[in-house]
Amino acid sequence: MCLSREREKESLSPVTAMNDTLRKGRVRGRLFLAALLLLSTAGCAGKSPEALSASHLEAIRHNQSGIKAEARGENPRALEEFSEALRINSSIENSEGIIVALVNISRVHRRIGDAKAALAMVSRALPRVIPSAPLYPEVAFEMAQVQLLSGDLNASSEWASNAVAADTGSQRGMRINLLARILFLKGKLTEAEIKVREALLLNRENGLRGEEANSLRTLGDIQSAGKRHAEAAEYYNQALAIDKTVGRSRKIAADLRALAALALLHGDSDEALGFYRRAFTVNSTGGDLSGAAEDLLNMSRIHGKRGEKELSERLLAERDNLLRNLRTP
Amino acid sequence: MITENDRRFMHLEKKIGFFVAVAIVGFIAVIFFIGTDQDLFIQKYRLKFTVEKGTGFSRGMPVKLSGFRIGRINSISLNETAMVDIEIQIGKKYQKWIKNDSVVKLVKEGLMGDNIIEVSVGTRDAEALKDGALITFEKTRGLEEVANDIADKFKPVLIEVKDIISYVNDPNGDIKQSMNNIRELSADLHSTRTKIDALLADSTQKVGHLSADTETLLKISRDKIDAIGPVLEKVDRSMTTVEQKLPQLLDKTVTTMDHLEKTSRNLETITNKTVPRVPVLLNSAEDSLQRADTVMDALKDIWPLKSHVPVPREREREFVPGDSHE
């Protein structure tokens, strides 16, 4: 048999022999790569030492579902999801999860306008977090906003300052923006302007476009309060341009309303009406019916002042109709 | 010396005697008439009665029977019980009619006349009252009382009349309003009538035009009907064709329906077999998804993918996006 093989070898041509050698080489190479991959996978694979439990993951899933529901404007659904996340996190004593759920529930209540419920939730979150904890800035920021909604400007500015002091991350610009807005509302225009300019730089640096627009809007408000109307209009227009890019209807409407108020200060009621009309269209098509109703009320007032009684009453009737629709579930 | 030659003094004694006689006769006649008037020469008897009040009674007031004066009130006096005793004098000749069941009443002669005392005639069998006897006084209602009574009865009527008049005269009341409405309606009716007159005149004119139009329309219709004739003939021919082909068509339809029925039956059988398996399939799908989820979770923790998947801890700290200008 060996003899026959040798005869076969002898009978093969040199080209065939070379091809055979190359084929064998390729096979070996593939085998080597496969072994290397297997080794690397075996060495680096495996479960992470910080693997989360199913309950933990379930709580996270509910939290994320709540965030998505809130973004869609489904507030009752969002509250359900966050409450479920809170329940699961409580059942496994997951402190961070509890804090996040409480802050998120507070945020939804606050956006609905229920300051009392929001305060109850964020007050439950505060004792669970120390100022050096990574979650503290968010909790303090939420508390500041709840106090602002409740009308307590002093408490609000205190919590906003705490949030700013504790945050060194990318959200710092947002916290300073809030503080600047509270200072503006307290009538401390100079301090507010210093803060908001700092926030503007930080927000631009961190690419927070929405907060950049917020900074510009606050700057517009400060200029308007200082009767520097041209500068104010410039800031409002810049904010409007950014909000349009980001695509935030409520903020676009807010910019347009600010421009309308500025036009009224100039005594240009036609221009003001134009801005309010645009704000009304943005709000009504963007789903903010209460904002749209407010725009109609503003337009009605302008027509009323101009002596256009019929037009004014028609707009008021339209507003009443809109509010009725809003109350009807 | 005075002689009796003057004729004026002749028969003086006779003349004086005549005048004195005439004067005496005249005086006697006056006394007679007055006495007769005052019932001095007739025989009288007295009757008494008692009343609560003396109002309306007076001394000398006539007492009448059946409209004839038969006596007068002789005296009026207040007795011990603060009531009034009245005594009347009546001619003796009338005594036979005044019996113990007779009554006296204070009445007025006519509506505006003086007060008198009227005595009623007693019954035939009753005993006549004697001098000084008591006669029953029957109280009658005075004019004032009657008037008050009438006034009491009329007062509600008058109030109602007053209310009715006020209601009628009320400018905002139904009647005045109705009157105004009727007035307006009459005015409107007048204008309506004018309009109707105009409308009628106009209508007459239009009816004339309409009749002309109708005539034209009828003519056109007649032409059209004439034209429809051939069309109907065609329809008739088509119907004949349809009648011939319809049975075949119906046969085909019946066959198709049979096929459809069979298909439906097959579908039902398939559905009956499939439907019970749907929940099982869904459960299997759910299980598969859960398994896939587990595999995905495991894969996320494997080295090459691990760096591209967010760390759960970071996901846990996910908040509803904040906004400083809410």
pLDDT, tens only, B142-182? 667 777 888 888 888 888 888 888 888 888 777 778 888 88
Residues 6+ away with beta carbon under 8 Å from A135? A96, A99, A100, A103, A129, B317
Mutate to test the interface with B, among A38, A44, A183 (most CBs of B within 10 A): A44
Is the pLDDT reported for residue A41 higher than 60? no
**Token pair in block for residue A61:** 């899933």
Q: How far is CA B291 from CA A45, B96, B296, B297, in A?
A: 20, 147, 8, 10
SS3 content of chain B, % helix, strand, coil (to 5): 60, 15, 25
Task: Kindly report which listed range (A152-161, B93-102, B248-257) carries the lowest average pLDDT score.
Answer: B248-257
Is the pLDDT reported for residue A145 higher than 60? yes
To the question of domain B44-140 being in CATH 2.60.40, the answer is: no
- For residue B214, the model assigns a pLDDT of 83
- For residue B284, the model assigns a pLDDT of 67
Q: Where are the beta strands (DSSP E) in chain B?
A: 44-51, 62-65, 68-78, 84-91, 103-108, 115-119, 133-134, 136-138
Give this prediction's pTM: 0.49
**Token pair in block for residue B325:** 């200008």
Burial class of residue A70 (count of CB atoms within 10 Å of its CB; 0-12, 13-18, 19+): buried
The residue extents of the domains of chain B are 9-41, 44-140, 142-170, 171-264
CA distance A11 to chain B (A): 50
Mean pLDDT score of chain B, rounded to an integer?
Answer: 82
Judge whether A298 is closer than 8 Å to chain B, CB to CB: no
Tracing tokens 């300051």 back to the chain, one arrives at: A115
**Closest residue to B315, CB basis, from A64, A104, A111:** A64
Which residue(s) pair with B51 in the sheet?
Answer: B84
Q: Which residues of A touch B312 (CB under 8 A)?
A: 50, 52, 56-57, 60
- B77-101 average pLDDT score: 91
State ipTM.
0.75
**Token pair in block for residue A287:** 């789903």
Residues 6+ away with beta carbon under 8 Å from A326? A289, A290, A293
- For residue A155, the model assigns a pLDDT of 96
- For residue A146, the model assigns a pLDDT of 96
Which stretch, B5-19, B56-70, B290-304, B312-326, has highest mean pLDDT?
Answer: B56-70
| Residue at B157: amino acid letter | V
SS3 content of chain A, % helix, strand, coil (to 5): 85, 0, 15
Residue B86 dihedral angles phi and psi, to the nearest 5°: -120, 135
CA distance A266 to chain B (A): 25
CA distance B293 to chain A (A): 12
Tracing tokens 């846990």 back to the chain, one arrives at: B316
The better pLDDT of the pair B243, B23 is held by B23
pLDDT, tens only, A271-315? 999 999 999 999 989 888 888 999 999 999 999 999 999 999 999
Q: Which residues of B touch A214 (CB under 8 A)?
A: 323-325
Written as one string, the DSSP assignment of A79-104 is HHHHHHHHHHHHHTT-HHHHHHHHHH
What is the rounded CA–CA span in Å between residue A161 and residue A297? 36
Is the pLDDT reported for residue A46 higher than 80? no
Is the pLDDT reported for residue A37 higher than 60? no
**Closest residue to B315, CB basis, from A40, A60, A174:** A60
Structural domains for chain A: 55-165 (1.25.40.10), 260-329 (1.25.40)
